Amino acid sequence: MNDKNEHFRKLYRAHDKIAAANKRLLSLYASATAGNPKIDGMPKSQLNPHRFDNTMVNIIDMQKSTDDLLKQRAEFDMFLFSLSYEHMRLLNLRFENCLTWKEIASELDLSTDSVKRIYGVICKKAVKEGLFDKLDD
């Protein structure tokens, strides 16, 4: 179950990773275009071709990783919307608000065992839908 916890945690934090990757991509794009001629026709300093190649490879790799993460998060969002409100709320309390099982039980007015049982049902549904199969470790 710990692996499932970690997968859910990764999916809930995907937006933060995507935002950080996009910020880094902007920096790489700026670096890659730093040697282009200025608008007035006067050239800027020469760009190291090896550095440019490495930068382009980094951009392509990061863009692919970001696209994959966006796809995984979109699939996760579809999974969330397929859940009942109570099940979605349980996941949000656990992974967005970082509450303990005891705190979630108190919030939902349930026993800790009931909350864990419901979480098990959610995990089984996620496994059945192949949600965990699509995640990179």
Give the list of residues 6+ apart from residue 129 with CB closer than 8 angstroms, or none: 79, 82
pLDDT digits (tens, 9 = 90+) for 13-65: 888 888 888 888 888 777 776 655 444 555 555 555 566 677 788 888 888 98
**Residue 3 to residue 95: CA distance in whole angstroms:** 13
pTM above 0.85?
Answer: no
The domain locations on the chain are 2-134
pLDDT digits (tens, 9 = 90+) for 65-104: 889 889 989 999 999 999 999 999 999 999 999 999 999 9
